[in-house]
């Protein structure tokens, strides 16, 4: 295989590099993985993407690249999230078809699911069953459109394009930027600053909303397992430990434990932009049935590892 990996310098891309290296997958002369970042190719420009595919003769893709952000970044830049991600995904898929890429894994997110589903947990076939939450509708619709195109190409052109939908990701190499990060890296960085400055920690919400979390190394592992399983021809796979939820406030208290930050200085905030959707549980049953021996990293181990990595690498992490 000649595999293009977009988003190679991001959270998942870095963990994917580590997983391939640690398992002697990357570097095999029969399996060439080419990681690119925005420095190598501007995926919003079709001419650059076309040149990339023309020059490297890929037959497989792992498409991770996207413009991403946390709750407040999405609210602030919903239109930009939509247009940038639509452009990136359209360019990638157009060149995949044009240059004969027959197999690929395309990254979605659990946030693209409806905000008011008919039932929980949400299964893969419920992806389009209602509006996504207003806070991230731009990002969500761009990802839904990508999944639809993958499905159509599978049917019309006999492609094997598979979409994977992870729950909230965290781990080593995460983006800890205070304005753009997701829940866990944002909390880690803010609480680290609060401890350093001897100030209270503000939750940015009540902490009652429930979320599922996925250690990025587990996601990297799942991508490769799906990619190399020739029995999987297409479709969508939720990637998560089946039906395991955590209240955000409980995750915050766990982070405080590993940062040695006093719990009585954690304050709820009902004056902020709020909690987002209160629950968006998805089912991991389909993935579990396909990979029965897959073991997910428990959140305590994952948080401890992530926080240690953050402290050891600060201030040279992505801020």
pLDDT in tens, 290-301: 999 999 999 999
Give the ranges where the chain is alpha helix by DSSP (H).
11-22, 46-56, 71-76, 78-98, 137-157, 183-197, 216-228, 248-259, 285-290, 299-313
pLDDT greater than 80 at residue 82: yes
**Where do the domains of the chain lie?**
2-313
Q: Does domain 2-313 have CATH number 2.60.40.1930?
A: no
Q: Is the CB of residue 228 less than 8 Å from the CB of residue 62?
A: no
Tokens of residue 217, six digits: 């190394």
Concerning whether 33 is annotated as a catalytic residue, the answer is no
Whether 27 has a pLDDT exceeding 70, the answer reads no
Task: Please give the mean pLDDT across all residues of the chain.
Answer: 93
pLDDT at position 264 over 80: yes
Residue 288 has pLDDT above 80, yes or no: yes
* Residues 121-152: tens digit of each pLDDT: 999 999 999 999 888 899 999 999 999 999 99
CB 307 within 8 A of CB 170: no
Q: Which of 82, 139, 192, 237 is catalytic?
A: 139
- How does pLDDT run across 209-238, given as a tens digit for each residue? 999 999 999 999 999 999 999 999 999 999
């Amino acid at each position: 295989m000649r595999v293009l990996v977009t988003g190679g310098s991001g959270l998942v891309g870095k963990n994917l590099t580590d997983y391939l290296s640690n398992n002697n997958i990357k570097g095999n002369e029969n399996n060439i993985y080419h990681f690119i970042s925005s420095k190598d190719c501007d995926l919003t420009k079709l001419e650059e993407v076309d040149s990339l595919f023309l020059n490297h003769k890929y037959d497989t893709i792992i498409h991770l690249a996207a413009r991403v952000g946390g709750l407040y970044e999405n609210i602030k830049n919903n239109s930009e999230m939509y247009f940038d991600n639509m452009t990136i995904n359209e360019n990638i898929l157009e060149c995949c078809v044009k240059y004969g890429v027959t197999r690929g894994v395309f990254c979605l997110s659990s946030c693209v699911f409806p905000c008011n589903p008919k039932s929980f947990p949400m299964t893969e076939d419920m992806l389009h069953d209602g509006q996504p939450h207003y806070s991230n509708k731009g990002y969500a619709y761009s990802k839904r459109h990508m999944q639809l195109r993958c499905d159509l190409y599978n049917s019309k052109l006999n492609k094997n394009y598979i979409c994977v939908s992870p729950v909230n990701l965290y781990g080593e190499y995460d983006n800890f930027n205070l304005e753009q990060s997701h829940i866990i890296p944002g909390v880690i960085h803010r609480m680290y600053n609060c401890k350093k400055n001897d100030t209270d920690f503000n939750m940015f919400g009540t902490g009652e909303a429930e979320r599922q979390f996925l250690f990025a190394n587990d996601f990297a592992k799942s991508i490769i397992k799906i990619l190399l399983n020739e029995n999987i021809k297409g479709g969508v796979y939720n990637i998560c430990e089946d039906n395991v939820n955590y209240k955000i406030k409980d995750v915050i208290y766990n982070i405080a434990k590993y940062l040695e930050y006093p719990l009585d200085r954690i304050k709820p905030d009902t004056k902020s932009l709020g909690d987002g959707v209160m629950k968006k549980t998805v089912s991991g049953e389909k993935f579990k049935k396909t990979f029965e021996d897959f073991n997910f990293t428990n959140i305590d181990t994952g948080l401890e590892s992530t926080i240690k990595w953050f402290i050891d690498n600060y201030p040279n992490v992505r801020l």
